[in-house]
Amino acid sequence: MKRQALAALLVAALSGSALIGGLAVARAGAHQTQPAALAPPAQHVAQTMAAPREQLSLLAMSQDPNQWVMPSLNYANTRHSSLDQITTQNVSGLKAAWTMSTGATRGHEGQPLVVGNTMYLESAYPNHVYAVDLSDYHIIWQYTPKQDAFAVSVACCDLVNRGVAYGDGKIIAAALDGQIIALDAATGRVVWNFKNDDPERGQTTTAAPLVVGNRVIVGVSGGEFGVRGYLTGLDLATGHKIWRAYSMGPDSDVLIGSQFTGPHGQGTATWQGDQWKVGGGTTWGWYSYDPNLDLLYYGTGNPGTWNPSQRPGDNKWSMTIFARKPETGQAVWAYQMTPHDKWDYDGINEMILVDLKKGDQTIPGLVHFDRNGFGYELDRRTGKLLLAQKFDPSVNWADSIDMASGRPVLNASKATRAGVNVSNICPAAMGNKDQQPASYDPQTGYFIIPTNHNCMDYKAFAVKYKSGFPFVGAIVKMYPGPGGNRGAVIAWDPSDGHIVWTDKERFPAWGGVLTTDGGVAFYGTMDGWFKAIDTKTGNQLWKFKMPSGVIANPITYMHDGKQYVALMSGVGGWAGIGLAAGLAEPTAGLGAVNAAQDLSRYTNLGGDLVVFSL
């Protein structure tokens, strides 16, 4: 079958019960690099540097608050800056300092990097990458990859991108069609290009890579197409694949060996027959790393299909937090949050690494706010569960998490099954929080969390697998949760898992949060407001209307003695897929369209970077 014809069939198959980024078009033109004869970034790490030294260099750079050198600022994913020039007392004087268009108009879910005197950013598809001189804001270079346009047809949840990574003098960019591209940070020249996935099998890439030592860590998307998820470790110098760890299958595929402290053989034993081969568990979220333990942390997504009646068993290792050795990919421990998922509660949200006070002990902790509506605290050394509490009181699919077994105590009336329309399940499939990252504020001790507040009706049905075609098997309809608001930003106290304050939002709070030592938290909203609030109280201190709705993540940096806050606008993502892709059927967009039919009254598509200062 010709590719364009297959794309047309995918459009028909996805409308109404799944979603589509758009029709396949003719192949994009050749990649475009626009260099200028300019000096390289001020802090340029030598490409010949040995791996351990480079790791230390990145660690040191991430501790310099003047820069923002990793997607989440640091390996711990705190998104908290020690900069304090902008405070609760003066933030009301914040003004737009400079702006630029990204040249793309789909969902922007990422954030810029600041390395020395240069800002680097990547747009939504077609994934323009820019290097911008912070002295006068001119574009040093631009790179646009030549892509397999078929990826547009199989991209779940909009044509988003979550940003670039930096390491060893290279910018690492991920393209929608699965290319992982290393660009010389000074010139934009392609150093290497690795093909991480195949769109014709339903595989795409949307996550931001992470550089750990001499490894580039990259994930894959495509759980709604029966993709068997995997995480890949590439060589930073050459782009060669060093290891690949699948989310399910034989232990040899999952890279479970003698170091693993959990049960063995579960990647096949918890599936019926060969269903693990189309088992989902994709890895499109955020990654964190503890350099003292030398452990990499990430989560896996939903099992395929969405019809749980077709895949009896716990379906390991979908919906799982993994700890691995980044050099080899070998698993050390794993914790599955939602065994035998019946609601599409992907476990890919960020793992925030902080020290937790438990009684008279201080424990190296991992804190994770899952799609399923529970906030989890684990000992990041062992995976031992320390606490699990709801971070939205509307959660009704489970009553609690059993602390002895770690399994949810299910509400049988909200369990989905084939042929039955189960109504009023909270949260909806997009969860009480999706990929939009939270921030840990050490001054208050609170996690400031952007949340969703939708519920859903869910009817599962039988579906057959065919490579490259939707493998969903459910019709979903989402709508506002109790109280009518569809989102909120909350403060969560990790000492006992209680909500300290709540700022309700009209739409899901689909953008990330930044906190600072100035006592200010920043976040953007889908209806286009960029807000500053007091971390202690949640009181609003300032707001600014952005060119488009916000689903991206703010950063802050210093330049010439002045603190700046930067954010991209460009509405879309799963929560805004109706507006982004022009979908109107209430159950389209995997059920998300119904929950945001009024979004066009408040914002429109766009793609811009806006930078603020006092």
Note if 399 is an active site residue. Answer: no
Separation between Cα atoms, residue 611 and residue 199, nearest integer Å: 35
Torsion sign over Cα 409, 412, 416, 418: positive
Distance, in Å, from the CA atom of 552 to the CA atom of 573, rounded to the nearest integer, reads: 10
What are the chain's domains? 3-613 (2.140.10.10)
Contacts of 66 (CB under 8 A, 6+ apart): 114, 557, 558, 559
pLDDT number for residue 165? 98
**How much is the pLDDT for 57?**
86
Which distant-in-sequence residues (6+ apart) come within 8 Å of 279 by Cβ? 228, 229, 247, 248, 249, 271, 303, 304, 311, 315, 318
Q: Which residues of the chain have pLDDT under 70?
A: 1-56
Q: State how far the Cα of 593 lies from the Cα of 478, in Å rounded to an integer.
A: 8
Between the CA of residue 521 and those of 59, 60, 495, 571, what are the distances in Å? 24, 24, 20, 21
Active-site residue (options: 341, 344, 392, 441): 344
pTM: 0.92
Spatial distance between the Cα atoms of 115 and 111, rounded to a whole number of angstroms? 13
- pLDDT at position 6 is 39
pLDDT tens digit sequence for 95-135: 999 999 999 999 999 999 999 999 999 999 999 999 999 99
Residue written as token pair 């702006």: 99
Q: DSSP letter for 285, please.
A: S
What pLDDT shows up at residue 173? 98
Q: Closest Cα to residue 513, out of 314, 284, 277, 352? A: 352
